[in-house]
Amino acid sequence: MSQPIQDPRHGPSWPTARPSLADVKLARGLGWAELLGLLGSLKGITSELVASQCVKKLYESGEIQVINGSDPQQLSQFAAHFISDTDQSQACNFASFVPSGETTPLQRAEWIKFLGSFANLEDRANRVYSAVKQNYLCLTKASSGRASFKPIVAWMDFSNGAWSFAKETYKLKYVEDAGGENVDDSINKISYNISSPDDLEQLHAILCTVDVIIDETFTSDPVGYNLSYFLQNTNVEDHSCFAFLTNQSLWRYDKRIPNSNTLDWFNGAVSQPQLVLADLIEALFPTGNYTTTYLRNIAKGEAIVTVGSDMCDRDVSTAMEPTTVPCVW
């Protein structure tokens, strides 16, 4: 039998009997572990800042402990230690786990097969991925059959006084698969400093062409990040030109958070991209009948959902089934 695996950034960790995952900062990888049914073997995490309600429940009940992720002696008890920072020095029990390096949502989700191979759960991993892929492709096909109108979408980030547009391929792919169109690369440069009148004028001209915005701006206070904060950072006063404001379509992916430092966007959203796609479809073609999982609409004052251990209502010793979004085309 394969021995346990552990990943300082991606999830839980087991001693030497089962593959283990260790968690650092964002707890990335817990989503895959839950889908594989590995939480029952979880004995340690390297940070209590986790986005999984069931891991929080295990931690709060004392069933798992926080270990020192920088202590080689503590890490040596695990047969494998998953890492995402491949530049760091690596012991012989380290295994690189880098779904973030993939260019499409489904490629990122397919890393469950890699994790499953360490746990002798290849069949389970293949079944889960097949279900996720089938649902994702169904939603893509259903969305492609919509009206010819394709909403223009921009992923934006504000940092050090300047706005920039996201270039990550997987984000652009999400928009295409949802039936939208990404903001035209030819009309935006690397960044737009709001203290520069010329930059601000160009930024406003671009925003006048956009129907939906996903604001990725980092904040230490997601609860307090609202429409007023965005308007202040863009120096927008007259809303009449901006369709995304008129139509109230300004989103963030921080809807599910256990605390201010951890977003479930980096955990469950990666392992179940069909839920992100469904969120985007609702953002682009709102029906009012679908409750988003990861995206919240700050133009409508939508609040965050605080992930707590009381939300874990299942047997953690069994595998979690991937969520299937209703899909008709």
What is the per-residue pLDDT across 235-250, written as a single tens digit (0 to 9) for each? 998 788 899 999 999 9
Residue 11 predicted with pLDDT over 50: no
Superfamily (CATH) of domain 140-311 = Nitrogenase molybdenum iron protein domain (3.40.50.1980)
Characterize the bridge pairing of strands 250-252 and 296-297. antiparallel
pTM here is 0.88
108 touches 26 (CB < 8 A):
no
pLDDT at 86: 60
pLDDT in tens, 84-120: 666 666 666 667 778 888 999 999 999 999 888 888 8
Residue 277 has pLDDT above 70, yes or no: yes
* Cα–Cα distance measured from residue 315 to residue 1, given in angstroms and rounded to the nearest whole number: 24
C-alpha dist (Å) from residue 281 to 241, 276, 290, 327: 24, 9, 10, 12
Q: Which of 253, 258, 281, 282 is nearest to 269 (CA)?
A: 253
